[in-house]
Amino acid sequence: MKAACFEKNSLKYVVKDVEKPVIQKQTDAIVKMMYTTICGTDLHILKGDVPEVPDNCILGHEGIGVIEQLGSDVKNHKVGDVVIISCITSCGTCKYCKKNYQSHCIDGGWIFGHLIDGTHSEYIRVPHASNSLHKVDSSKPGFENLVLISDIFPTSYEIGVLNGEIKEGDIVTIIGAGPIGLAGLMSAKQKNPKKIIMIDLDQSRLDFAKANGATDIICATGDEAIKEVMNMTNNEGSNVVIEAIGTKFTFDLAQKIVSIAGNIAIVGVFGESVEFNLQDLWIKNIKLTTGLVNAYSSLELIKNIDEHKIPIDKLISHRFNFSEIEKAFDVFKNAKDNKALKVLIKF
């Protein structure tokens, strides 16, 4: 089968022929891929930022496919089902899974395209298939857009919206209008906040945000962004700040615009140390949360999308065939030049 494999020495991915996966445990499924996408984490891997990824690992942790083979212990799915592959693999029984920290599953977690072969291939082996696959109705137009339920929407919802404890009437500020920030915008709207302020330096993405639910947009950073947020909030700051970029500058901004008794929800992936200004924040009774997605919200999100509460399709800006995966990576890597959000890859 064809697969996009990570060459560790050169930090490149190469499409080549590899062996088709087989059932290893009776809790496994073999899924024939139909659709996948590319995540910012895949780009981090190609930069060498995730050293634990083994040589020749097949990249990708998001996808939709059809079940071709099942282990005997998988009772809630059948061969021929079309399923979303969760980015998080969960045994469902360990101490972490029982606490809804599936990302830290003792026998799973984030392993696709990280510790084991992922979704950028024609077939994939899915461990703990009972808990790691979600059936979808492939007869519905646009079902392929549900590939975004693999990762980006659960991440923005759980780590941004739920960790941020957004309530009706809150003022919410999202720093970063990339795909994860925009997914957070769409998810946050379901909680009926008073305002959603989006901050970014890409005007086209801010225009997209404004057209899809942001009440206010700020094309600035640093002191200018702080000033604008304070003007919009009667100098009180934002009840909830979702940081969706992952730099020391955006983390500093989040600390300076959060209100008294406000929440900072860190969604961005950080690759460097940051300054935490506890001397200024301890007295404000703020809460700061971080986390890796656990994907326990997938079924809730699928329901909301089915009920047309979340316009998930709008986040897919480009579509490619798997034979064009190199072009897809290039477009996604140079997102600003290509006005790219999420790219959909069809097998």
Q: What is the residue-wise DSSP string for 141-184?
A: TTGGGGGGGTTHHHIIIIIIIITTT--TT-EEEEE--SHHHHHH
Backbone conformation region of residue 21, classed left if phi is above 0, alpha if psi is from -120 to 50, else beta: beta
Report in angstroms the alpha-carbon separations of 319 from 49, 97, 331. Answer: 27, 35, 10
Confidence of residue 49 (pLDDT cuts 50, 70, 90): confident
CA within 13 Å, CB half, 341: 22
Close Cβ partners of 125 (under 8 Å, ≥ 6 residues apart): 21, 22, 23, 24, 28, 29, 30, 116, 117
Average pLDDT score over residue span 6-25: 96
- Residue 102: DSSP 8-state: G
CATH top class, domain 2-151+294-346: alpha beta
Give percent of the chain with pLDDT exceeding 90.
97
Write down the domain spans for the chain. Answer: 2-151+294-346, 155-290
pTM, two decimals, is: 0.95
Average pLDDT score over residue span 268-291: 95
Domain 155-290 has CATH 3.90.930.12: no
Strands 29-37 and 123-126: antiparallel
Average pLDDT score over residue span 2-20: 96
Give the number of other CB atoms < 10 A from CB of residue 73: 12
Q: Give the model's pLDDT for residue 108.
A: 97
| Fold match between domain 2-151+294-346 and domain 155-290 | no
Q: Give the model's pLDDT for residue 171.
A: 99
Alpha carbons 27 and 127: distance in angstroms, whole number: 6
Structure tokens at 171: 């003022």
The pLDDT tens digits of the residues spanning 94-153 come to 999 999 999 999 999 999 999 999 999 999 999 999 999 999 999 999 999 999 999 999
Give percent of the chain with pLDDT exceeding 70.
100
